[in-house]
Amino acid sequence: MGTTFASPLPLLAVAVSLAAVPAILLSAKNRNLREFWTLAASLAKFAVVLSLLPAVLDGRLAETRLFELAPGVRLALKADAAGVFFALVASGLWILTSVYNIGYMRGLRERKQTRYYASFAVCLSSTVGVAFAANLLTFVLFYEILTVATYPLVVHKESAEAIRAGRKYLAYTLSAGVLLIAATAMIWLTAGRLEFVPGGFLSGSSLSAGTLKALFLLLLGGVGVKASIMPLHGWLPTAMVAPTPVSALLHAVAVVKSGVFGVVRVTGFVFGPRLMADMEFDTLLAGFAAATILTASLLAFREDNLKRRLAYSTVGHLSYIVLGMALVAPAAAAGSLLHLAFHATLKITLFFCAGAIYVNLHKDKVSELDGVGRIMPWTMAAFTLGAIGLAGIPPLNGFVSKWSLGLGALQAGRPTALALLVLSGILNAGYFFPIVRRAFFKKGAFPPGAREAAPTMVAPLVVTAGLSLALGLYPDLFFRFYRLASAVAASVFGGPGP
């Protein structure tokens, strides 16, 4: 568990992108200056989060305790291992997305870019807030802000379709928020505490089985929408109408990962493994996750729209993480967190590729991708790496997290879960590899002069693909993801520290 010490850094990590919002709004007229603020904020944010890493690895947790949000509950941010882990992923990928954004938005001459960049910054602030929230009410606060801040990005195109998607998005996510608020109020009144504790804080309380069940279902509904656990996933494929960088960062990293991170918090830090097992919540959650993994993989086959196919793939992979938490085994929990990070680098690569293809060639259907690999070799090479990773084939990082999940399945004595992971890997290969084959081995017709996309778009996706490969070969590279994930698992399961 480690010791905590007061530090403004967690607050700074949240605030730095929020502080960029006025700067972005004020420099609406000068787009280079405006994008400078975004890049500066993303670099600063990542630097702050990274500076929290050594302390966490030492078992010392930085904490900012602010004013009381409601009597007895403070607005508190704590950089524990899980929080730093998630914040590293989100803020690190924001830098790359910001670079990519510039190429994408300018390439398409999108309107209202100021609103777009400002919303992005708010989203990232609230995502890191979700990561560092030290108690449930603070978590709800940032979770709800994230919901609202993402809305302008979903409806960015302002078309009738986008507005409909926005409504659907709000209907799902606001309903989920309401469930979370209800659960938080109930826990506060019945258990009298909201602070996240590794291993859970409800296990010691004298709540009845019925209350616990109600709380679990409410919380699961609350975080399950953003985590896209079926049948709560409906908003995600629809929201793919948003610009691709939004899909990439928010719908593959920040927003949906806030949901699965919520699952991690609920299972590991509110209920805890013992209560999960005693109340058989693990079986319930595993059932939902398994059904989601299978159904989403099958639905992905059906989609010809590349981004929607990626969306269903995301739905499936998010449930890997949920499944890992549901297995209630240390290796599975570590695998969950690893997959949270590694799926992020892989999926963002694929989305970046989809966006680059769209901006460059105006193609968004799988069936139109014949021969694209010859025109855009870098992009499609990165896509191939991403696809291999998501299928869980070594040496990409997707294999590492899946291996850990598989080990966890055996630890928990649920070999069916292992079988499911293998099957899902095959299905992933089934819906991704044909794209690669089309792109490289079929001939397509292209206008003369068609070539690779702009460097601002290609560079980020090459970096994320390279990162995925590097993390696959050496998972502890730079960011110590492996050690962090093991530390979280150890703290939740009460084992020895890292």
Q: Which of 170, 348, 375, 382 binds another protein (CB under 8 A)?
A: 170
Using the contact rule CB under 8 A, the part of the chain among 93-101, 172-180, 253-261, 348-356 near another protein is 172-180
- Count of CB atoms within 10 A of residue 121's CB? 28
Residue (224 or 498) nearer to another protein, CB:
224
Using the contact rule CB under 8 A, the part of the chain among 51-59, 150-158, 438-446, 486-494 near another protein is 150-158
Q: How far apart are CA 379 and CA 436, in angstroms?
A: 11
Q: How far apart are CA 142 and CA 125, in angstroms?
A: 8
For the CB of residue 233, give the shortest distance to another protein in the complex, in Å: 19
Using the contact rule CB under 8 A, the part of the chain among 15-23, 169-177, 238-246, 307-315 near another protein is 169-177
Q: What is the DSSP letter of 134?
A: -
Residue (146 or 427) nearer to another protein, CB:
146
For the CB of residue 137, give the shortest distance to another protein in the complex, in Å: 8
Which residue carries 């590279």 as its tokens?
Answer: 477
Q: Binding of another protein at residue 144 (CB under 8 A)?
A: yes
Q: Which of 52, 122, 155, 366 binds another protein (CB under 8 A)?
A: 155
Report yes or no: 415 and 409 within 8 Å, Cβ to Cβ.
Answer: yes
Q: How far apart are CA 149 and CA 126, in angstroms?
A: 9
Q: Binding of another protein at residue 168 (CB under 8 A)?
A: no
Q: Which of 40, 148, 454, 470 binds another protein (CB under 8 A)?
A: 148
Site string for another protein, 415-444 (x = CB under 8 A): ------------------------------
Q: Binding of another protein at residue 11 (CB under 8 A)?
A: no
Report yes or no: 245 and 100 within 8 Å, Cβ to Cβ.
Answer: yes
Q: Binding of another protein at residue 224 (CB under 8 A)?
A: no
Residue (133 or 299) nearer to another protein, CB:
133
Please report the sign of the dihedral spanned by the C-alpha atoms of residue 234, residue 235, residue 241, residue 244.
Answer: negative
Q: Binding of another protein at residue 145 (CB under 8 A)?
A: yes
Of residues 42-71, which lie at the interface with another protein (CB under 8 A)? Answer: 67-71
Q: Binding of another protein at residue 18 (CB under 8 A)?
A: no
Query: b/e string for 266-298 if b means 16 or more Cβ within 10 A?
Result: bbbbbbbbebbeebebbebbbebbbebbbbbbe
Q: Binding of another protein at residue 167 (CB under 8 A)?
A: yes
Q: Binding of another protein at residue 448 (CB under 8 A)?
A: no
Name the nearest CA neighbour of 229 among 172, 163, 278: 172
Q: Binding of another protein at residue 76 (CB under 8 A)?
A: no
Q: How far apart are CA 145 and CA 195, in angstroms?
A: 20
Query: b/e string for 311-346 if b means 16 or more Cβ within 10 A?
Result: bbbbbbbbbbbbbbbbbbbbbbbbbbbbbbbbbbbb
How many residues touch another protein under the rule CB under 8 A: the total is 30
Q: Which of 22, 26, 33, 158 binds another protein (CB under 8 A)?
A: 158
Q: Which of 23, 178, 410, 454 binds another protein (CB under 8 A)?
A: 178
The DSSP line for 416-476 is HHHHHHHHHHHHHHHHHHHHHHHHHHS-----TT-----HHHHHHHHHHHHHHHHHHH-TT
- Count of CB atoms within 10 A of residue 431's CB? 24
User: H or E segment at 77?
Assistant: strand 73-79
Q: Which residues bind another protein (CB under 8 A)?
A: 67-71, 140-141, 144-145, 147-148, 152, 155, 158, 163, 166-167, 170-171, 174-175, 178-179, 181-182, 185-186, 188-190
